[in-house]
Amino acid sequence: MAEAPQERVLIYDRIDANKRITLVIMAGFVLLAAGVFVSIGVIVSYYAGTPESELVGVSIRVGVVAAIIATGIGIMMYFMAPAAVLTIAGAHEVTKEDEPELYRIVENLSIGSGLPMPQVWVVEDGAPNAFATGRSPDQAHVAATRGLLNKLEKRELEAVMAHEMSHIGNLDIRLMTIVAVVVGIVALIADLMLRFTWYGAGARRSNRSKGGGGIGLIILIIAIVFLLISPIIAGIMRMALSRQREYLADSSGALLCRNPAALADALEKIAKDPDPLESANKATAHLYIAEPLQGHESFTNKLFSTHPSVEERVRLLRAM
Amino acid sequence: MTAIIILAVLIGIIVLGVFIIAGMYNGLVRSRNRVKEAWSGIDVQLRRRASLIPNLVETVRGYAEHERETFEEVTKARSQLENANGAADNAVANNMLTGALRHLFAVAEAYPELQAADNFRELQRELSDIEEKIAFARQFFNANVLSYNNRIQTVPNNILAGMFNFVDEEFFETDDEGRAEVKVDFSGAAVGD
């Protein structure tokens, strides 16, 4: 008997859903960024000794200038990010001749998902792991470590690559690239401004005569506190988003390779492997299929964890 | 005054209706185009497969000259695939070719020199790769067909689909009975030598 095709969510519908979620999260990041720029305006104008009557106008002007500069840097970072990620990971591109099995698997999955063929990369590292990056499905990259190729069976490798292809299909690669850039810029700005405040405080004391009074000081303190916590807020938002995308990539990856059990097996193998991934750091950890930096379990660790626990993911996959 | 308001409301409703219908129509067209695009994914692999057949037959003939019936079966299946029209027709022809190829490879087992030939092994690898790719392309195609068929059969799209002649697309189905038959052939060939 011919097997009946199974109703499944098509890639197009998932992309639509992803676009909506992206919009909401982006709105959150825009609000956060606006707060950051206003804070910059407040701090700069306060230390420039602006009279209280002009404080609002000067703050806004300084904030807008800072926003324009930050957007420019952000766009540059966005275009450089995928190449930077591959370089940091120490990946090298492979052809069909170099790695026929991996290449064919990716080829098959790109046919099965209707996505263009991504560039295939290998990281020479014994720890089994994989990631996807890029700005769009047309310019996407998937990378597997040598450990993944050596330690996994073919069906498991196929499942892992299906998970990575799903990150491409769901447009997670673009989403997470943008988010990483925004988080990076917020952290950079907060750091710069806090140093400036520290340094500026000295200059301010010698300028006291022009000064603002009590309200100005309160606003200043609010701005500084906001800048202090903004990288943390951005980080939490990013991790929450990343975990959501992992669940989705698991389920759509399982659908793509038609083998949830293989993905569950692969995740268990990856989690149990004792080799640490040398080339992963905090900036790239969220890209991998399983958390490469395994630390102790604590509340903050959970809050900042880029991935849901492997046990939970395996449980969901086995229930499929 | 009230007449103008009523008229304006009516025109508003009509304009809104036209926009909604245009949106639905465009959705149907997009959905149908996706089916076509998904089909090209299968078609590419079927062509790749067909293009390897003459080479394969020649290679096998060099070692196993008197297996004429098997060659004929493969060649016939190939030409049938090339003349096939539509997904269902192509699926039938493709299943036939799959069966014929399995038969050929089963027969080839009896010729150790053929098994050892680089050319033959390369063709075998390539064909099994294509077979996997056809399976993936089929999965994507059938998912698109299902989504499209569901769309044009459900309210309210079915009304529009009827008006503008959107018809059900065929699935590309593998034939498991055909596969079972080939398994019998395989054991027969093994006994035969």
Q: What is the ipTM of this complex?
A: 0.72
Residues 6+ positions from B118 with CB-CB distance below 8 Å: none
Task: List CB contacts of B186: < 8 A, sequence separation 6 or more.
Answer: B102, B103, B106
Q: Which of B41, B147, B174 sits opposite A10 (nearest CB)?
A: B147
Would you call the peptide bond into B156 cis, given omega within 30 degrees of 0 as the criterion? yes
Measure CB to CB from residue A5 to each of B34, B171, B177 and give the nearest one. B171
Contact B140 A113 (CB under 8 A): yes
Tell if the CB–CB gap between B150 and A7 is shorter than 8 Å: yes
B89-114 pLDDT, tens digit per residue, is 899 999 999 999 999 999 888 898 88
- What amino acid is encoded at A117 in this protein? M
**Which residues of A belong to the active site?**
164
The domain limits of chain B are 38-137+173-192
- To test the contact with chain B by mutation, choose from A107, A111, A165 the residue with the greatest count of B C-beta atoms within 10 A, namely A111
Residues linked to residue A120 through DSSP beta bridges, in sequence order: A142
Q: Is residue A159 part of a domain?
A: no
Average pLDDT over residues B156-160: 88
The Cα–Cα gap between A296 and A277 comes to 17
| Whether A66 contacts A189, CB under 8 Å | yes
Number of domains in chain A: 1
In what side-by-side order are the strands of the sheet with A140-145? A91-93, A119-123, A140-145, A130-134
The angle that helices A154-169 and A214-257 make with each other, rounded to 10 degrees, is 130
Residue A108 is nearest to which of B34, B136, B174, comparing CB atoms? B136
Give pLDDT, residue A200: 61
Nearest CA in chain A to B91: A2
CB-based contact A114 B175, cutoff 8 Å: no
Which positions of chain A have pLDDT values less than 50?
Answer: 1-7, 206-211, 296-298
Instruction: Give 3-state DSSP helix, strand, coil % of chain B, rounded to 5.
Output: 85, 0, 15
Cβ proximity of A59 and A45 under 8 Å: yes
B41/chain A closest Cα distance in angstroms: 7
Question: Does some domain include residue A230?
Answer: yes
| Contacting residues of B for A257, CB less than 8 Å apart | none
Please give the residue that has the higher pLDDT: either A234 or B175: A234
Domain residues for the domain of A230 are: 11-90+172-318
pLDDT computed for residue A162 by the predictor: 95
Domain membership flag for residue A203: yes
CB contact under 8 A, A113 and B37: no
Q: Is A72 part of any domain?
A: yes
Any idea which fold B38-137+173-192 has? de novo design (two linked rop proteins) (1.20.1440)
Query: What residues of chain B lie within 8 A of the CB of A157, using their CB?
Result: none
CA–CA distance, A119 with A138 (Å, rounded to integer): 10
Tell me, yes or no, whether A248 lies in a domain.
yes
Question: If you measure CA to CA, which chain A residue comes closest to B36?
Answer: A114
CB contact under 8 A, A2 and B173: yes
Give the pLDDT score at A313. Answer: 86
| Residue A3 backbone zone (phi > 0: left; psi -120 to 50: alpha; other: beta) | beta
pLDDT in the model for residue A204 = 52
Contact check, Cβ <8 Å, B136/A3: no
Q: What is the structure's pLDDT at A22?
A: 66
* Rounded CA separation B107/B190 (Å): 8
Q: Mind listing the pLDDT tens digit for each residue in A73-99?
A: 888 988 998 998 899 889 999 999 999
What average pLDDT does the structure give for chain B?
85
Any domain includes A251 = yes
Residue A294 lies in a domain: yes
- Asked if residue A101 belongs to a domain, the reply is no
pLDDT score for A18: 63
Closest residue, chain B, to A111 (C-alpha): B137
Nearest CA in chain A to B174: A2
Residue-level pLDDT at A300: 54
